[in-house]
Amino acid sequence: MSRPSPGGALVAEADVLVIGGGPAGAWAAVAAAEAGAEVVLADKGYCGTSGSAASGGNNLWYLPPDPARREAAIAARETLAGHLTDRRWMARVLDETYRQVNRLADWGYPFPEDEDGVERRGSLQGPEYMRRMRRRAHRSGVRILDHHPALELLVTPEGAAGGAAGIRRQLGCAPWEVRAGAVVLATGGCAFLSGAFGLNVDTGDGHLMAAELGAELSGMEFSNAYALSPAYGSHTKGLMMQFATYYDEDGRALEVGGMARRPIARLLADGRPVHARLDQAPPELRAAMRQAQPNYFLPLDKAGIDPFTQAYPVRMVLEGTVRGTGGLRVTGEGCATTVPGLFAAGDVATRELITGAVSGGGSHNGAWAISSGTWAGAAAAAHAARGRPTSAAPAGGAGLRPSGPPGAPDAAEVVAAVQQEVLPLERNYFRTAEGLRRSLDTLDGLWRHVATHLSGEGRDALRARQAAAMVAHARWMYRAALARAESRGMHQREDLPAPDPRLTHRIRAGGLDEVWTAPEEAAA
């Protein structure tokens, strides 16, 4: 239900509001609608095209219900992930992904077939996948609001999530507000506007909005996921790089240990060039690689480089909590957060439960988007059945409602200052206690400025909120990195290079003006 307002403003009600139109948001919207809820989905961009999944191929953690194969997959991941995973959640994700991908086939997704005529369902082509999901959401009765970025959540007098508000980007940035009985956040992780392919919509907005209602986070120290891309490109598909040989500036092959990135990162951090050549790719696979990830090859083709026979320069691009594992802490099987009525799906939620201390890459993260979206949507619909809120107030603070007069620096300058602390390899990849504390001093001061002075109108309001979200995100991840006084998974401390068995637990984080961390025991 919606009612007209002057100046293009939109005021509406729904049972469930989904914020974010990537895979997790689309699955959440479909699940909530199938549970009988009236659903509105608000996307920062155009649902079906925005985000990382829509721009390339998506591998999935998809296994048939073979107990031996699934047990082996779970056991292998447990060790790799630093023993921070949860077996029960991993099994649930495998079950749910298998079930929903098979439904996707029923909806007409054209899976390729092998030489025996068996469909290969372990990967999806992003554009076709998201086109199907948008259509499915429409057919399920979901109302989609494209180009409607959310700026803040609404909170009920009882402290529950009661909807959200934002701007209508293509309608003069008129305001919109949707009051809802439950909210699913599916806003993605935070890549700090690093320029990684498809990730500049991922600025941590959902984390900030949730934290303003008191939500907790987990795994934020596992946020320094960098990926390799051609030096003059931004496409960061790691699958290609399993076939790469790396070379230093003198053409000597580097010993990098399979998919390990540390020697490469060291050279790049020291300002020395690194080149890659995909010469380990079997000739019979090369055409399929081009077909699976055409965007990876496009800049190389334009440069006249055959990546299978010629070396090309590479760089490491921060993907933050998009490929990292940190995010909003989930407290139940429906992906509820620590805030009543607020659910999390996809990369905005922690993926420690299935990926622990290492990146979920595309496959585990893709499976998590499907599973967590389905669970969050269904749980949100059940929660909303209790009724819609009779009143709810805007909850946004930093970047929207400063406590003092507007003042410099502006949003662009704040973003540049955050990037200076989080993008360089020598600060975020090669971590030390001294370096983390030094960055936190800068970031804490930046937060005080943002909370006191930063604001904007129209599109500038969105820029200001994104800047505030990135500052908050950086503080959570560095505070958690300082609390994890060891090296584990992707979190590597130069000053503490070994794992500490006493820290085999997850670390919770939260707070805005005062950021805190606390241990959480991992499930047995």
The closest alpha carbon to 186, from 166, 201, 197, belongs to 201
Burial of 63 (0-12, 13-18, 19+ CB in 10 A): middle
Could you give the percent of the chain with pLDDT greater than 70? 97
**455 within 8 A of 461, measured Cβ to Cβ:** yes
Long-range CB contact pairs, 257-265, < 8 A, 24+: 261/226, 261/228, 261/316, 262/492, 264/228, 264/314, 264/316, 265/226, 265/316, 265/425, 265/429, 265/430
Please compute the mean of the pLDDT values over residues 466-473 and round it to a whole number.
98
DSSP 8-state secondary structure symbol assigned to residue 494: S
Please compute the mean of the pLDDT values over residues 97-107 and round it to a whole number.
96
pLDDT of 237 strictly over 80:
no
**19 within 8 A of 187, measured Cβ to Cβ:** yes
Residue 191 backbone phi and psi in degrees, to 5 = -110, 10
**219 within 8 A of 510, measured Cβ to Cβ:** no
pLDDT band at residue 363 using 50, 70 and 90 as cut-offs = confident
Q: How confident is the prediction for the chain on average, in pLDDT?
A: 93
DSSP states along 296-316: HHHHHHHTT--TTTS-EEEEE
Burial of 64 (0-12, 13-18, 19+ CB in 10 A): exposed
pLDDT of 5 strictly over 70:
no
| Residue 39: predicted pLDDT | 98
Q: Cα–Cα distance between 189 and 183 in angstroms, integer? A: 17
pLDDT top residue among 296 and 522:
296
Please compute the mean of the pLDDT values over residues 484-496 and round it to a whole number.
96
Please compute the mean of the pLDDT values over residues 226-241 and round it to a whole number.
82
* Structure-token pair, residue 121: 């369902």
Instruction: State how far Cα 513 lies from the chain centre.
Output: 24
Instruction: State how far Cα 425 lies from the chain centre.
Output: 20
Instruction: State how far Cα 93 lies from the chain centre.
Output: 17
Structural domains of the chain ordered from first start = 10-223+324-394 (3.50.50.60), 241-317 (no CATH), 398-495 (1.20.58.100)
| Residue 523: predicted pLDDT | 47
| Residue 248: predicted pLDDT | 92
Q: Cα–Cα distance between 214 and 203 in angstroms, integer? A: 19
| Residue 46: predicted pLDDT | 95
**113 within 8 A of 6, measured Cβ to Cβ:** no
Q: Cα–Cα distance between 385 and 55 in angstroms, integer? A: 36
* Structure-token pair, residue 264: 């490469």
Per-residue pLDDT tens digits for 418-445? 999 999 999 999 999 999 999 999 999 9
DSSP 8-state secondary structure symbol assigned to residue 164: E
